[in-house]
Amino acid sequence: MAAAAAAAPGALGTLQAGRARLVAACCARLGPGWRLSGSWTVPRVDPAIWARGWTHAAVGAAWRRGYSSEVKTEDELRVRYLEEENRGADLKERVKMNSSEVGPFVSKIRAVINEIANLPVPTIAAIDGLALGGGLELALACDIRVAASSAKMGLVETKLAIIPGGGGTQRLPRAIGMSLAKELIFSARVLDGQAAKAVGLISHVLEQNQEGDAAYRKALDLAREFLPQGPVAMRVAKLAINQGMEVDLITGLAIEEACYAQTIPTKDRLEGLLAFKEKRTPRYKGE
């Protein structure tokens, strides 16, 4: 089970989990965190804005989505990470399902992964161990992926006579191109970190350290680079990129213009200009 350590405002919280970590960046302040081995809980950020979570109370229980209050404070969520031991779906659990249960079960997984993809903060997937099947699909839903050279990742579902059902057939081609994505899915090939970097699946590959958390540490370094930037700017930059990649260039430029317009009336924009003039670090509040 993952447990969160509280952090001072603006610092990096930490979630502890198993040896194989999948991390989606970091945030300013965390309370009780994710439990990812069969039980999803709402990540609480106190106080927080833009935080979303999912709850699965027990096996067979209905999934529900939880939303934090949108309170604008100094402790706003800036970057999000979740950490888990995620090698993919629990096949022993899947064997016990009848045919009528499989479709709804996969749909719920897909919905959760889509919510992570739509988080309005930067997300980083750090793969230090195995990310196979659904584990890689979760990583593909993140903005940036980093991995240890010894990590193993792949969409291996065709070995089981099924296909990726958590967005893998859509997000992998968008990440590495259609031809390579087809090759990897058709072959159910498993890549190590170096091979994943070579095909563009990950942004950074690290030699694994003795602690087994090289990718996790790199993810935190990246998150520390992101954390000082203007929160509104980060949110609309992600929106502009994500939506712009799905349309033609002219429409994409219109999306960029609309997103840029959202930053103009903000207090953060004025604070950034003033801080630049006064040669000091800006104090952004997400306003």
Residues annotated as part of the active site = 89, 134, 137, 157
> Chain centroid to CA 222: how far?
13
Q: Which residue has the tokens 């779906």?
A: 89
Q: Roughly how many angstroms between the first and final C-alpha of the chain, as a whole number?
A: 35
User: Is the alpha carbon torsion for 10, 42, 219, 20 positive or negative?
Assistant: positive
d(CA 165, CA 197): 24
- 3-class secondary-structure state, position 22: strand
Tokens of 84: 């888990």
Name the H helices within 120-160: 134-140
> Which string of DSSP letters, residue by residue, matches 172-220?
HHHHH-HHHHHHHHHHT--EEHHHHHHTTS-SEEE---TTS-HHHHHHH
d(CA 32, CA 59): 21
At residue 259, φ and ψ (nearest 5 deg) are: -70, -40
The answer to whether 255 and 240 have CB atoms below 8 angstroms apart is: yes
